[in-house]
Structure 1
Amino acid sequence: MTRYAVAFYESADDVATKAPPLFPAHKARLDEFHAAGDLLMVGTFGDPQAQGSMAVFTSREAAEKFIEGDPFVLGGVVRRHEIRDWNDLYS
């Protein structure tokens, strides 16, 4: 069994307006963590405004490090975030 860390983001009001200016910097950070092997998956739910998004990291430390410097968090695109440890039964 492998343990991962899942980060959940709750979108701030009017995410469709707030996110685009910060998206290039946010995407660059995602790419950096993915290239380093710390970020496995990331994406929004069906309705990002109402349901937010999530990302799966290889460790809680990686998730915390990502969030503390994420332009979406720092720029107010994210209202609230949470990290949960998750155990994959098949790995």
Structure 2
Amino acid sequence: MNLQPDKKLGKAPGTLQSIKAIITASWLNLLLVCIPVSWVLHFVLPKTDKNDTIIFVFSFLAIIPLAKLLAFATDELSMRVGQTLAGLLNATLGNA
């Protein structure tokens, strides 16, 4: 069972480098703004069908970059672990 990466990678990036890489990984990350917007709208707007639709749209738009970030994180982790753990990560998180 191979729990080590196939080739030796350099030192893992620091926290600020990681955050910068995550934010600049895709233009879809601009939609992350929809997360707090949908959360605030949920508590501020009165309960009507029209308002529920607006909240749903913002929540739906927020899911798109989250799915992309999950795939990005899985790929980054897969580079630093062996084939066995990478397969487990892809099988577990790829179905989310």
Greater length-normalized contact order (CA 8 Å, ≥ 6 residues apart): 1
Structure in which a larger fraction of residues adopt strand: 1
Q: Name the structure with the higher helix share.
A: 2
TM over 0.5, shorter chain: no
TM-score by length of 2: 0.28
TM-score (norm 1): 0.29
